[in-house]
Amino acid sequence: MKKEGCRKIQFRIADKEIAVYPGLASGRPIIYLNTFEGEGEQVYQQLRDTECPDFTLVTVSGLVWHHDMTPWEMPPVSEGVPPCTGGADEYLRLLTEEILPKAEEAVQGPVSWRGLAGYSLAGLFAIYAACRTSFFSRIASVSGSLWFPGFREYVTAHEMAGDITQVYLSLGDRECRTGNPYMKTVQERTGEIAALYAQKGIDTIFQLNPGNHFKNVVRRTATGIAWILGRLSILQQEISDPL
């Protein structure tokens, strides 16, 4: 295990790069963030620059995005995009059985609760993981790919595996403005899933941010994590319309 200064600990498991940003005290929450291009450090810095409660952030990069983050197989949704190969269960085992125990060796004392966050397909994975394991109690699905065929039906038919207390969902307000028959349903599907969890008594919020899927990824991700950490309205200028 490699430690850089007192703020970041790095290690590698099964071709995944893991970075741990330990909290300052024991008994704090820990958030796991799956990343696409190693943006985890930028997210952590964004959170440090706000009045965010003390917590530990664990970021995972080096993911095979269309395998590790997808719950089942699906053909390419557009030209030039690889097919989804449904490796989420395999990756979830790696996360909970190997990555999580190793990461928490760096944490002082017990963890008060665990959260799981992700953007795009990693947001899809975060909701799916909550249906498959009881390790996590708070979820942030930021611009989550909840348009994924069959996913709304899956979460309707499957209860959360653990005691989920908070779910944060967000989208860009232009994400549904596409000719792609799958992706154009994302706002409708996300709203339906938000309503489902709210009806179950889970503290749930669905917010629209200005822009498309690729605008302000770091800021949006930090906002979602901040919300599940303490229902903070940080970076409020990025949020236009709570639903």
104-140: b (≥16 Cβ within 10 Å) or e: eebbeeebebbbbbbbbbbbbbbbbbbbbbebbbbbb
Report the C-alpha dihedral over residues 20, 24, 27, 32, rounded to 10 degrees: -20
Q: Across all residues in the chain, what is the average pLDDT?
A: 90
Tell me, what's the pLDDT at 203? 96
Alpha carbons 129 and 145: distance in angstroms, whole number: 14
Name the pLDDT band for 123 (thresholds 50, 70, 90).
very high
pTM score, whole prediction? 0.92
pLDDT over 60 (residue 100): yes
Q: What percent of the chain has pLDDT over 70?
A: 92
Tell me, what's the pLDDT at 239? 40
Taken in order of first residue, the domains within the chain and their CATH numbers are 2-242 (3.40.50.1820)
Tell me, what's the pLDDT at 232? 56
- Angle, CA 224 vertex, CA 222 and CA 228 arms, to 5°: 115
Query: What are 8-62's pLDDT values in tens digits?
Result: 999 999 999 999 999 988 889 999 999 998 899 999 999 988 878 899 999 999 9
Residue bearing the bigger pLDDT, 231 or 97:
97
pLDDT over 70 (residue 171): yes
Query: What are 129-166's pLDDT values in tens digits?
Result: 999 999 999 999 999 999 999 999 999 999 999 999 99
Average pLDDT value for residue range 62-80 = 93
pLDDT over 60 (residue 234): no
Residue bearing the bigger pLDDT, 168 or 78:
168
Q: Which two tokens stand for residue 48?
A: 């440090």
* Residue 36: φ, ψ to 5°: -90, -45
The 3 state secondary structure assigned to 35-100 is: CCCCCHHHHHHHHHCCCCCCCEEEEEECCCHHHHCCCCEECCCCCCCCCEECCHHHHHHHHHHHHH
Alpha carbons 25 and 220: distance in angstroms, whole number: 26
Alpha carbons 123 and 131: distance in angstroms, whole number: 13
Q: What percent of the chain has pLDDT over 90?
A: 75
